Amino acid sequence: MINVILSAETTEGAVKQMQSYFGGEISERWGEYTLAFDNDTAKGCVRCISFDWGVSLLEIDAIFFEDVLFVSDNGSSNPIHFTYCSQGCYRTRFENETQFQTVEQFHSSIIVSKTGLKLYSFLPKDIHIILNNIRIVRKEFLKKRNNQLSELNENLYRVFVDDKDEKEFAYYGPIHLKMEDYVKTLRDLKTEGMTRVLHIEGEVYHLLSMHIARHDKYQNNDVIPSTLLKDELKIIRRHAKKILDDPSLNYNLDQISKDSGLSQAKLQEGFKFLYARTVTEYIRHVRLEAARDLMNTTDLNISQIVYTIGFTSRSYFSKIFKEKYEMTPHEFRKQVVMVNVEETE
């Protein structure tokens, strides 16, 4: 087993320490560091980016050919770690504990140690693991204006304001497939330069809010539906993506139930859990978003757009469009045209 000691106070420093154990080369562009390695020890990459408000993002996408134990020993600087496991699994515990807690695929955790207490993270060999870790240095984050700490629940608030690092804290969240969509979007970004940096920063904020919202549900005893299994949620997510990819098809609850092999009740429960909408509401939402995109990017008239996205009634489309966006389709199209004219002048 490889014991990787991480004592650097910055994420970039931690990546440089990883290089001494896994080899490889580090490249940097626009403040984003990437360590790529392919050898007898490990294959894959680690990348990170830091912001000026005490927050950084670190992602591991790799296969290790030996068991790896990361030992986080940050001295008096013990950041909060918001971690999401997209693939594989890992185990974690504090130094003063004997049992590891396993974090499985599509699960998350919020962990912070205290001064003098090491944090152990065990990554098993020969398993492709993808981790997304948002790291917050509390003393820096507390200086940021509009950090909205007052909106945190009591437990998380105490963790954030514990600037003396006197308490350890660990929360292990249940399956969260919706978070995977946002983590994957972050992984697949193709933009470059400052646009990429700003995009990453925005997505990091979004992921943080999802971590905190999940912990709020835990505090309120609002847990994952007990009747749904992980594989069933994966099926629901797959069918939701089909709707997103092609909203024009004639979707209905009965047909999706037959195609998925899930009961209508489970479909409704799963869609509400993953997307906070019933199946019908989700289909309507996706179609309206598609309609808005077509108005922004094509010269199709309203009637053509209505049928392109799968609606059969123009009056019904106009009604629900106005309910969602507080303007009629014609008003929205007129606004788009005016913006385009201004941009060309």
Structure-model confidence comparison of residues 108 and 142, the more confident one: 108
C-beta of residue 314 within 8 angstroms of C-beta of residue 302: yes
Among 158, 185, 219, the domain boundary falls at 219
The CATH number assigned to the domain holding 304 equals: 1.10.10.60
Domain span including residue 109? 2-219
In a domain, 44, yes or no: yes
The pLDDT tens digits of the residues spanning 275-299 come to 878 999 999 999 999 999 998 888 8
pLDDT of 122 reads: 96
| Mean predicted confidence (pLDDT) in 221-233 | 70
Say yes or no: 148 and 286 in one domain: no
Say yes or no: 28 and 140 in one domain: yes
Paired tokens of 158: 């105490």
Q: Which of 143-152, 257-266, 316-325 has the weakest average pLDDT?
A: 143-152
In the numeric block, the tokens 């303007």 are attached to 327
pLDDT of 311 reads: 87
The pLDDT tens digits of the residues spanning 152-191 come to 666 666 666 665 666 788 999 887 877 888 898 888 888 8
Say yes or no: 65 and 209 in one domain: yes
In a domain, 294, yes or no: yes
Paired tokens of 54: 């005490």
| Mean predicted confidence (pLDDT) in 306-322 | 89
pLDDT of 214 reads: 83
**What band does 94 get if pLDDT is binned at 50, 70 and 90?**
very high
pLDDT of 312 reads: 84
**What band does 75 get if pLDDT is binned at 50, 70 and 90?**
low
Structure-model confidence comparison of residues 61 and 52, the more confident one: 61
pLDDT of 284 reads: 92
In a domain, 224, yes or no: no
Closest residue by Cα to residue 29 from 210, 206, 197, 219: 197
Say yes or no: 204 and 242 in one domain: no
Q: Is the pLDDT of residue 148 over 70?
A: no
| Mean predicted confidence (pLDDT) in 321-334 | 88
Structure-model confidence comparison of residues 137 and 152, the more confident one: 137
In a domain, 118, yes or no: yes
DSSP secondary structure string, 196-239?
A: HHHHHHHHHHHHHHHHHHHHHHHHTT-PPPTT--HHHHHHHHHH
Q: Is the pLDDT of residue 326 over 70?
A: yes
The CATH number assigned to the domain holding 213 equals: 2.60.120.10
**What band does 341 get if pLDDT is binned at 50, 70 and 90?**
very low
Burial class (CB in 10 A: 0-12, 13-18, 19+), 339: exposed
